[in-house]
Amino acid sequence: MKPVIALVGRPNVGKSTLFNRLTRSRDALVADFPGLTRDRKYGEGLGASKPFIVIDTGGLEGGEQGIDFAMASQSLQAMEEADIVLLLVDGRAGLNPADIQIVDHLRRNNKKACLVVNKIDGIDENVANSDFYSLGMDTMFSIAASQGRGVSSMIDYVLADF
Ligand code: GDP
Ligand code: MG
């Protein structure tokens, strides 16, 4: 069985950009407005140390209703299906209450998870990371999904456990 990696996080943090890079596709829609990926989307991980499945999700803000609730349910389901969750956060925007809610959810469900600080291109990586230490995540990566920076070393580290 290939390990299943779910990408979760708030809308617009770069999940679909990372998904496209991991699957070497242009399939997942990337946009400047949040919430474009309503359903979860599965892809075949390519070019890493071993094959894997990656799930892109629409994003979680916390307290969703209506269509946003449907989108959030997809994210919750993806987390359930995953062997490991990559929680993406925006290194430029800094810590958001929704990030804390997602971490709480992962802890309550004993889910194996890593924190991924994205969009570190052109900013101070250490400053960006420090905003997220309070989440208390054991494993943290800094990446720039749009440039591919840090992506392959992150994925090989994650896959080493499987
Ligand atoms: P999603 O809603 O989490 O799937 O986010 P998207 O992948 O659609 O990306 C949202 C926006 O962030 C898009 O404009 C992307 O081009 C941009 N973005 C994604 N990754 C990076 C990155 O590493 N650096 C920068 N500067 N922008 C990024
Ligand atoms: Mg998306």
Residue 50 annotated in ligand binding: no
What is the Å distance from ligand 1's center to 135 Cα? 22
* pLDDT score at 23: 92
* pLDDT score at 63: 72
Q: Which residues of 116-135 are buried (b: 16+ CB within 10 A; e: fewer)?
A: bbbbbeeeebeebbebbeeb
* pLDDT score at 88: 98
What is the Å distance from ligand 1's center to 61 Cα? 16
Q: Report CA torsion sign: 140, 18, 113, 58.
A: positive
Q: What does the alpha-carbon distance between residue 65 and residue 27 come to, in Å, rounded to a whole number?
A: 27
Q: What does the alpha-carbon distance between residue 31 and residue 140 come to, in Å, rounded to a whole number?
A: 25
Residues whose CB falls within 8 Å of the CB of residue 16, separated by 6 or more in sequence, listed in order: 28, 29, 30, 31, 36, 37, 56
What is the Å distance from ligand 1's center to 30 Cα? 7
Domain around 60:
4-159
Q: What does the alpha-carbon distance between residue 137 and residue 40 come to, in Å, rounded to a whole number?
A: 24
Query: From atom 9 of ligand 1, which residue's Cα is the shortest distance away?
Result: 14
Taking the model in full, what pTM does it have? 0.93
Task: List pocket residues of ligand 1, CB cut-off 6 Å.
Answer: 11-17, 30-32, 34, 37, 59, 118-119, 121, 144-146
Residue 95: give its domain's CATH number.
3.40.50.300
Q: How many CA atoms lie within 13 A of 6 on its CB side?
A: 25
Domains of the chain: total: 1
Tracing tokens 């770069």 back to the chain, one arrives at 14
* pLDDT score at 31: 53
* pLDDT score at 1: 87
* pLDDT score at 16: 93
Residue 37 annotated in ligand binding: no
pLDDT tens string, the chain, 162 residues long: the values are 899 999 999 989 999 999 999 998 766 666 545 555 567 889 999 889 999 999 999 878 777 777 676 668 889 999 999 999 999 999 999 999 999 999 999 999 999 999 999 999 999 999 999 999 999 999 999 999 999 999 999 999 999 999
